[in-house]
Chain A
């Protein structure tokens, strides 16, 4: 079974802190994604990566950066945490797939609270 593991289930950080959210997948997937999920807004894509050291902005990249130094690991960085970044963060991975006909596998989520 594919496993996507996020480093923390719950995290509380102070405003202005630099925050690292880590995600590791064990199935050699090319694609990895970071989403945030807020009530009424669904899942919104922050960043994605289609290869090591490659990254693309999603729909809401402001205030975030990412790092993918190894194929299995994709890190989301909040440079200076703010209260409006309090949210559920979801990491996902997928195979490349011809025509994109592949499914995404999700981690269990990290609920981040910025105080």
Chain B
């Protein structure tokens, strides 16, 4: 399969805790992106990290990329109930297709 794999498949944490999700992939990339999907809705782009970058921040989000291990992680700090959603990584090789993983379902308990 060309798809990436997110780990864990599901994660349940308390409000205020940090949430870490991991993504692995198999082929070379131009960039890796993270998206969020609220239940029954479309996906929303969160952050893009290029293949020559190792870490990137956006608000409470921190993304790392290790191209030697073909893996990325998304850290959400000080999580809130509103962060409850599914999170997907997507890799892009070339200028066309976005190839998505299977997602991590995050539940933040108030």
Q: Given contacts A58-B97, A100-B92, A101-B31, are A109 and B42 in contact (CB under 8 A)?
A: yes
Q: Are B43 and A104 in contact (CB under 8 A)?
A: yes
Q: Are A90 and B96 in contact (CB under 8 A)?
A: no
Instruction: Select one of B30, B50, B97 contacting A48, CB under 8 A.
Output: B97
Contact with B along A96-115 (1 / 0, CB 8 A): 11011101111111010000
Is the C-beta of B90 less than 8 angstroms from some C-beta in chain A?
yes
Is the C-beta of B41 less than 8 angstroms from some C-beta in chain A?
yes
Cα(A97)–Cα(B45), bound, Å: 16
Q: Are A104 and B48 in contact (CB under 8 A)?
A: no
Q: Are A48 and B96 in contact (CB under 8 A)?
A: yes
Q: Which residues of A contact B25 (CB under 8 A)?
A: none
Q: Which residues of A contact B42 (CB under 8 A)?
A: 4, 90, 92, 106-109
Which of A35-43, A64-72, A76-84 is near enough to bind chain B?
A35-43
Q: Which residues of A contact B41 (CB under 8 A)?
A: 108-109
When A and B form their complex, what is the total count of cross-chain residue pairs whose Cβ atoms lie within 8 Å?
73
Q: How many residues of A contact B (CB 8 A)?
A: 32
Cα(A101)–Cα(B102), bound, Å: 22
Chain A contact residues: helix, strand, loop or mixed: strand
The residue among A88, A100, A111 with the most chain B CB atoms within 10 A of its own CB is A100
Is the C-beta of A56 less than 8 angstroms from some C-beta in chain B?
yes
Q: Which residues of A contact B30 (CB under 8 A)?
A: 99-101
- Closest Cβ of chain B to A36, distance in Å, is 11
Which residue of B has the minimal Cβ distance to A108?
B42
Instruction: Select one of B33, B40, B88 contacting A42, CB under 8 A.
Output: B88
Cα(A33)–Cα(B100), bound, Å: 13
Q: Given contacts A31-B96, A100-B31, are A105 and B103 in contact (CB under 8 A)?
A: no
Q: Are A99 and B95 in contact (CB under 8 A)?
A: yes
**A-to-B contact residues, CB < 8 Å:** 4, 31, 33, 35, 40-45, 48, 50, 56, 58-59, 88, 90, 92, 94, 96-97, 99-101, 103-109, 111
8 A-B pairs with the lowest CB-CB distances in the bound complex, closest first: A106-B42, A42-B102, A103-B45, A43-B100, A100-B95, A106-B43, A100-B92, A100-B30
